[in-house]
Each structure stands twice: as C-alpha cells, then as structure tokens.
Amino acid sequence: MSHRIAFLGFVALAVCASLSLAAEPASLQDFCVADASSNTRMNGLACKDPAMVQASDFAFSGLHIPGNTSNAVGSRVTPVSVTQIPGLNTLGISMVRIDYAPWGINSFHTHPRATEILTVIDGSLEVGFVTSNPENRHITKILKKGDVFVFPVGLIHYQRNIGYGNAVAIAALSSQNPGVITIANTIFGSKPDINIDLLAKAFQVDKSVVWQLQTKF
C-alpha cells in the first residue's frame, strides 16, 4: 500500500512538473505593438496585426526638447511609455526625461509597477527614498552629472535640483506602464475629498491645516 501511495505521489509531481513546463513565461512572438483602437480589456494592450506594424510604432521624437518647468514644483516629466511608443507593449520597459528648474523638485511619489534607474545628464540632484514600515529609513545621496541611482519598486522617492542652473535626468523604468502616485496630490487632492477629521488625525495636525492643503491640490 505504501508503495502505491509513493507511486501516486510521484505521478502527481510529474504531472505538475509537465504543466509548469508547458506554461511559456516568455513572449511567443517577436513583438505585440499596442492597438489603440481595440476595445479588448486585458493586462496590457491588445496586439496590432503584425502585417500593419510600421517603424513609427517603435520610435519617439522629442526627448531632446526641455520640458516646461514653470509650475509650482519647478519640474517637468516627459514620459516615453507604451502610450508614446506602441511597440513597448508587453516588453516591460519605459523611460522618462525629467527637467528641473533651479531648486525645483520631482515631488514625493511612487511607481507601483516599476523599479526606476535614474541618470543625471546635467546639473546636481539630491535624491532619496524611504523604506517601508517600521524602519522608514531615509536613504539619500547627492548626484552629479553622470551619476546613477536606483529607486526600488513601490517605495516613496524624490529628486531635488540643488544647483542654481537647470538640471536634466533620464530614467528607465521596468514596466511599459509604471504608474505614478504623487503623495501630496493623492492625499490632499483626491476626488471626492478624504474626510478632514480623518486626515487631521492621521497627520496629527489641526483641521485648518488639512483644509488649507486640500485647497492647494
């Protein structure tokens, strides 16, 4: 009886192994250019007919153009994701150009679906991220032209131009659609508003402070 149970166990393991080998984790085609006209809902975007694919589906122009930093935070992010390059669909990568006015910031935010690796092209940046609870360790560094820094997926991070001239960075992200959650906008600019009493208690401030912040976002 014990031999039979052992044999059945071996068969079950063999079946599981064969099923796992039958699943193909890698792409089964050369590319899957996003079809913006498709109404199909899926994790990613539906594929365009390969016969209709053009070189323009894999190209983007304009990353050399400085972004307009005339805003409250003094920075501008120019994305190059699957929206701009349909050929990025299913490839798990995208990039951005970030322009900073003197002392401008790319405010506290997270990318829920991507790790970010940033390279300073011009200027000097103070960068940092904060680890998860309970340590909440602040890891920060000053970067100069040519320096590279990594922001792990999902962690709150930021950059600040610490020079008196403009700064530029290029960042790559490990998702065709990394997502961005800007902390201040999310907390104080949600639609509809988060209850003031709840925010005042969470941040341990007077309700008037919360109200003032909500009017800004």
Q: Which residues are annotated as a binding site for oxalate?
A: 106, 111, 116
Half-sphere exposure of 76 (CA within 13 A, CB side): 12
For the CA atoms of 110, 116, 119, 124, the dihedral, rounded to the nearest 10 degrees, stands at 20
Q: Which of 118, 173, 175, 167 is nearest to 147 (CA)?
A: 118
CA–CA separation, 156 vs 215, rounded Å?
Answer: 23
Name the pairing type of β-strands 105-110 and 94-100: unpaired
Question: Distance (Å, rounded) from C-alpha 161 to C-alpha 103?
Answer: 5
Strand partners, 105: 160
Per DSSP, the residues of 2-50 read: HHHHHHHHHHHHHHHHHHHHHS--S-SSS---B-TT----BSB-PBPPG
Mark the binding-site residues for Mn(2+), compressed into ranges. Answer: 109, 111, 116, 157
Binding residues are: 106, 109, 111, 116, 157
